[in-house]
Structure 1
Amino acid sequence: MKRLQLLSFLILICTSLGLVSCDTEPADPLLVGQQPEATSAFHVDFGGSTYNATTTGAIIQDGTIQILGSKTNAGYFVITVPGVTRGNYTNAVIKYYPTAGATDFYSNSSSTVVNGTVSIASINTTTHKLTGTFNFKGYWGVAGANMPAIDFTNGVFTNIAYTGNTPTEPVGNPLFKVNFNGATWTAATTRAVYASEYLSVMGIKPDGTSFMITVPYPRVGTFEFAAQQPDPNSPAGLLAMAYVPGNAQSSYIADAGGWGQYSEYPEYTDTAIVNITAIDIVNKTVSGTFGFTGVRSVFDMDNPTTDEIETITFTSGEFSNVSFAEGEAPVTNNIFTAKLDGQNFVGTTISATSFGGNINLGARRGAVESIALFFPSTITQGTYTLSALNTYVAMYMANETPSGMFGASGGTLIISEHDTVNRKIKGTFNFTGGYMTTETHEISDGHFDVTY
């Protein structure tokens, strides 16, 4: 059970390592954040089957978006949206021509009603691609023909290349909120990181409470825990969600049903889902929705055999217009070095941040592997004993599986300088990573000199 609480700390620390600037990353995250060229798609269900277009295209001009999907020997769709920004349109014109040379068509309007919705989820002005959804009831356009109406459902268009004018739109205020315990929690500060291997979003309140969400790959789409445990060395294992209560309490984390460390508890149900609805490359913002059941272990120092958990259900989570380029300029001189089992540990990301009354700093190399320290923000010059669960915490994470996490079973942290006004801290550390495991790793010659 102690190990389960350790995992909560590790997930929190690993997730937060992705939410600050570092001295080894490019100043502009877009330089590393572009995805491989995505394939376009246009499909919709009607008449008992799915129509998959073989040709797609779009044009933006005169304040409208026109989207085309056609299929050999199966006709074509034309969708005209009266706007050039993201959003839901109930006044779009949608037409389906059953054959390539047809002059008559099914439309979302009859003599008495206009129906259906077109949702523009993403307009990527860098790659000139459109993504969205649509549905409508189609009425035959020839009066008196007595043709039955057709329901067109589950319509999706993805990465449709467009030509014409590049749209611009105002960016709204950032928002991050979620419901739990009968109330709505709303962040005062938001931040995000857009990288080639992951997308992370965070909301923070002045009382030290915070939420952190990390999904593998920066793309529009829905993310849930895989049915089977992923390769721990793959970025696909990066889905992580956490609620940090503040006051140095352990976090509530989302865990995978079926193979996660909490899946053995019948009172825990995996409800984790993240839906990234828009990534605005021009304005550098991300929007989406989320929900999950957070879980943490109950650890009683007086009764270490206690085997209980606590859960909180988080619903109707939403973040919008969260900037992944705002905040202070990247710190370019942060230092965090160490040796792992006698070999230099060179991090690709160096992080240092303060929230919830604690300072969290460390280095990550690759998608997951990291060394991290976690201690009170009121720390002063002196020598402190490192552990896995108490006030001064040290961790080595080899991968995201339970067997890949190594909390300190002994070690020392020495703070040589701490300037709380300018938020600079300097010190050294060493520890043995192997709390409650038979495998151990030696972290030695640790040194940090960072601004947080």
Structure 2
Amino acid sequence: MRMLKTKLQLIVLFLIALVTSCTYEPVDGTVEPDPDGENVNSGVFKADFSGQTWTAKETQAVISGNFIEISAIDSKGDSFGFLIEGNAAGTYAANVNIVAYTPAGTEYGYWAVNDDNPTENTGSVIITSINTQTKTISGTFSFKGYWSDSDNPRAAMQFTNGAFKDIPYISQEETADVFTAKVGGTNYVATDISAIEINNFITIGALDANQNNLAIAIKSSLGTGSYTIVNTFGADVQGYYEDQNDEYKAVSGTLNITSKTDDRIKGTFNFTTNGTTPFIITEGAFDVEY
């Protein structure tokens, strides 16, 4: 299994922002807060660490063709995020999936992977039940988290007695988000779509059934119009494609933003990547909530 914590870290960033940006908006209202600010249909999510029990105020989950995504946030903005490669009940090793706790106000967090020893058994997430009638998911977890900012290391942290019960979930097809393209003339079929705004960029991307990543990053300040993709670090518009061998950066191309609101963006794109054999991305289109 290929490690999901890639250089691009598209899905990683999605999980960090999922609980605050509401990338996936339920169509049935099951995860909407009540008028008093309490989420009465949010299920239970809790864990023990630092000598206390952490309890979520709101939760959210998505089950797609290839992944289970679960997130939880408390009243201070601290959050847990899981991205599990699978779509059924079972035990999933923490170090080969994405399992993280992120304190409020930072993009860094405690990840269940030791960069100095990636094969270390750091814990697990156990999905005990997926109830397709009530559309809820339950399970348990425990893991050892390593601080993700290697330039400012912190001691590892143990998370124990983790449990989530009756967390409402939605299916990928319920999001109404669209992300399509052709890679080398072949249709790229997204199985998981993410869209977030973080660090002054809106990052939109997807995984296909083979876990190939396709993504574009757009500076948040850009409005409707046509923009050139250039091979410059930190450019206003950037594109990426990643297969099982490597990550490739767009060196030329165009992006057209046809519609943009405070929480949704629509447009088209095409670009050519670097690499010995460049990837040609054509007929790209997106219409997503971020």
1:95-114 matched pairs, under 5 angstroms: none
Supply the distance in 2 between the matched residues of 1:200 and 1:242 (Cα, whole angstroms): 12
Supply the distance in 1 between the matched residues of 2:52 and 2:168 (Cα, whole angstroms): 25
Q: TM-score, normalised by structure 1?
A: 0.46
Tell me which residue corresponds to 1:319.
Answer: 164
1:439-450 matched pairs, under 5 angstroms: 441-445=278-282, 447-450=284-287
Supply the distance in 2 between the matched residues of 1:327 and 1:195 (Cα, whole angstroms): 5
Tell me which residue corresponds to 1:215.
Answer: 84
Supply the distance in 1 between the matched residues of 2:234 and 2:205 (Cα, whole angstroms): 17
Contact kept in structure 2, 1:244 and 1:356, CA below 8 Å: no
Residue 368 of structure 1 deviates from its aligned partner by 1.7
Give the % identical residues. 22
Q: Within the alignment, does 1:351 sit opposite 2:193 as a pair?
A: yes
Tell me which residue corresponds to 2:125.
Answer: 274
Could you give the per-residue CA deviations for residues 3-58 of structure 1, whole angstroms, max 9, x where no partner exists? Answer: xx963724515879x99779xxxx9xxxxxxxxxxxxxxxxxxxxxxxxxxxxxxx
Supply the distance in 1 between the matched residues of 2:238 and 2:102 (Cα, whole angstroms): 16
Q: 1:192 to 1:221 in 2, by over 3 A?
A: same
Q: Within the alignment, does 1:451 sit opposite 2:281 as a pair?
A: no
Letter of the structure 2 residue corresponding to residue 372 of structure 1? A
Q: Within the alignment, does 1:372 sit opposite 2:209 as a pair?
A: no
Could you give the per-residue CA deviations for residues 119-144 of structure 1, whole angstroms, max 9, x where no partner exists? Answer: xxxxxxxxxxxxxxxxxxxxxxxxxx
Letter of the structure 2 residue corresponding to residue 323 of structure 1? P
Supply the distance in 2 between the matched residues of 1:363 and 1:211 (Cα, whole angstroms): 21
SS at match of 2:148: strand
Tell me which residue corresponds to 2:137.
Answer: 286
Residue 312 of structure 1 deviates from its aligned partner by 4.8
Tell me which residue corresponds to 1:330.
Answer: 175
SS at match of 1:12: helix
**Comparing 239-248 with 281-290, which one deviates more in the overlay?**
239-248
RMSD: 4.6
Residue 369 of structure 1 deviates from its aligned partner by 1.9
Supply the distance in 2 between the matched residues of 1:272 and 1:179 (Cα, whole angstroms): 14
Q: TM-score, normalised by structure 2?
A: 0.65
**Is there any run of 5+ residues in structure 1 with no aligned partner, and where?**
28-170, 227-236, 300-307
Contact kept in structure 2, 1:396 and 1:407, CA below 8 Å: yes
Residue 209 of structure 1 deviates from its aligned partner by 5.9
Q: 1:8 to 1:448 in 2, by over 3 A?
A: closer
Letter of the structure 1 residue corresponding to residue 130 of structure 2? I
Could you give the per-residue CA deviations for residues 85-135 of structure 1, whole angstroms, max 9, x where no partner exists? Answer: xxxxxxxxxxxxxxxxxxxxxxxxxxxxxxxxxxxxxxxxxxxxxxxxxxx
Letter of the structure 2 residue corresponding to residue 199 of structure 1? I
Larger-Rg structure: 1
Residue 362 of structure 1 deviates from its aligned partner by 2.0
Q: 1:326 to 1:408 in 2, by over 3 A?
A: closer
Residue from 78, 99, 110 that aligns with 1:241: 99
Supply the distance in 1 between the matched residues of 2:67 and 2:88 (Cα, whole angstroms): 9
1:244-263 matched pairs, under 5 angstroms: 249=107, 253-255=111-113, 262-263=116-117
SS at match of 1:380: coil
SS at match of 2:9: helix
1:45-444 matched pairs, under 5 angstroms: 173-178=42-47, 186-195=55-64, 197-204=66-73, 210-224=79-93, 239-243=97-101, 249=107, 253-255=111-113, 262-263=116-117, 270-292=121-143, 293-296=145-148, 298=150, 312-313=156-157, 315-316=159-160, 317-325=162-170, 329-331=174-176, 334-340=177-183, 342-349=184-191, 351-354=193-196, 356=198, 359-375=202-218, 377-381=220-224, 383=227, 385=230, 394-399=239-244, 404-408=245-249, 410-411=251-252, 414-421=255-262, 423-432=264-273, 441-444=278-281
Could you give the per-residue CA deviations for residues 271-320 of structure 1, whole angstroms, max 9, x where no partner exists? Answer: 13112232222211111222331443536xxxxxxxx8666525133322
Residue 321 of structure 1 deviates from its aligned partner by 1.5
Q: 1:327 to 1:195 in 2, by over 3 A?
A: closer
Could you give the per-residue CA deviations for residues 372-430 of structure 1, whole angstroms, max 9, x where no partner exists? Answer: 2345555434636577888866432324xxxx341526455635244224623324242
SS at match of 1:7: coil
Contact kept in structure 1, 2:257 and 2:265, CA below 8 Å: no
Q: 1:7 to 1:282 in 2, by over 3 A?
A: same
Residue 346 of structure 1 deviates from its aligned partner by 1.8
Q: 1:174 to 1:270 in 2, by over 3 A?
A: same
Q: 1:13 to 1:298 in 2, by over 3 A?
A: same
Could you give the per-residue CA deviations for residues 148-174 of structure 1, whole angstroms, max 9, x where no partner exists? Answer: xxxxxxxxxxxxxxxxxxxxxxx9642
Letter of the structure 1 residue corresponding to residue 164 of structure 2? F
Supply the distance in 1 between the matched residues of 2:165 and 2:212 (Cα, whole angstroms): 30
Contact kept in structure 2, 1:385 and 1:410, CA below 8 Å: yes
Letter of the structure 1 residue corresponding to residue 212 of structure 2? E
Supply the distance in 2 between the matched residues of 1:336 and 1:327 (Cα, whole angstroms): 12
Q: 1:409 to 1:419 in 2, by over 3 A?
A: closer
